[in-house]
Amino acid sequence: MRSNDHIKTDLRTDREHVAPNIGYIISVRGSVLDIYFPVNLPEINNMLVIPGDPKVVVEVRYQIDKHSIRGLSLSPVAGLKRGMEVYDTGAELKIKVSEDLLGRIFNVFGDTTDGLKSAVEGIEMSIYTKDFKAHKKDSSSSIQMTGIKAIDLLSPIERGGKAGLFGGAGVGKTVLIMELMRNMLKSHKGISLFCGVGERNREAVEMYKEIRRAGVLDHTILVFGQMNEPPGARARVAHTALTMAEYFRDHKRRDVLLLIDNIYRFVQAGSEVSGLMGKINSRLGYQPTLGSELAELEERICSTENGAITSVQAVYVPADDFNDPAVTHTFSHLSAFIVLSRERANQGLYPAIDLLKSGSKMLSMHIVGRRHYVIAQRVKEMLSQYSELKDIISMLGLEELSRDDRLVVNRARKLERFLTQPFGVTQQFTGVEGGPVSLEETINGCERIIAGDFDDLPERKLYMIGAIERDIYEKV
């Protein structure tokens, strides 16, 4: 066994003159450890370390009695056994933060995983923020442009707010997040921070390559808690990413775009942890603390007098059931919700955004302006009329509709196709060059379609283009 002095050096504590608080493992049940401390009982959320190669990091979750705690391992527990020594660091999990974070990949402990030799130096910050003062929050409302037509027109994202991308498997949540990152980095002087919760290794590699190919890696930070890691790591990696975002907002006074993929996997990791801890599950097998765990993360995302953290979060909808507790709890924290439709994806209308079910609290006349508001409402009204006429068309045919209804259907279908858009991140697969479209170009295009300027134009001319004035006559 190594000496106590060596252990203290490994933990990088600033209390070398104090004897370490040593405990002993009582039991190991999956990722949950019961540990006995004969002298001092560690505080809740304290980080404990079990020496080894690699060392095991445990977070204190409960104090069972005067001498025992129940902890959750954030590392693989293979090789642990009863009686092994455990060292209390006397502090919560802390990560090093500085400008050196940019362009690197990290895990839940703030350690680099990109294979580069240079280490990150800087100040240490706990992954848990305490005593955040409400008066420091910025209550002003402004729009964060994304360059994606359907979002900027119908579901504008709030600067310093939270937007959710809701959809089942395979409807394009991750691709849409990658395009958002690409567009917003090129048009805004800020930091982009991608947090992968329960990501597949393949997805992480693809994300890194795409960001490097787009030439924006120097303004990006990647944090991953991958699918093969313990549930404790997946449940805490979002807090690690948010701490990095808070550093750039509060210390460097910079705006941060925080992209989280996937909030459902964050909830799922919490459910696994709850089961391991022996809690009784609530409805549909979720943890009884689902609401408070989600709020603990979501309420840290906001604007302050120093800068803004704007978050876009992918939310997997299990079995396309929007009444699932994980989905409904997430809804309550969002200022914009973007619903992805499997029906639109099957029709090849990408991004597969359900234009009628998506929305935003920012789509208000005093925020976006009268012209934007009126055009957005007119678009939704026309699409809603078309949706109501679909059953009649399927039974009787388009010819049985009145002239006015046929005109509505014609323009609504053109609006649907105009609000599709080629993405820059998919160019290597489609061969179609994509990029951001300004809000003014989007509003102009919709206004002209509604006015009937393109009634004689084939629908295919409006499919997968950017701005009408720029791209429509280039279509074959």
Q: Which residues are catalytic?
A: 173, 199-200
3-state secondary structure of 176: helix
CA 165 – CA 316 distance, rounded (Å): 8
Q: How far is CA 358 from CA 136, 169, 260, 380, 419, in A?
A: 30, 18, 19, 10, 13
Residue with the two structure tokens 């009329």: 385
3-state secondary structure of 292: helix
What is the DSSP code string of 160-216? T-EEEEEE-TTSSHHHHHHHHHHHHHHHSSSEEEEEEEEE-HHHHHHHHHHHHHTT-
CA 175 – CA 83 distance, rounded (Å): 48
Measured from the Cβ of residue 286, the count of other Cβ atoms closer than 10 Å reads: 19
Residues 67 and 37 sit within 8 Å (Cβ to Cβ): yes
Torsion of CA 97, 310, 203, 128, to 10 degrees: 40
Closest to 181 (Cα-Cα) out of 223, 220, 226, 142:
220
Lookup: tokens for 413: 């279908």
Cis amide prior to 54 (ω within 30 degrees): yes
CA 48 – CA 63 distance, rounded (Å): 14
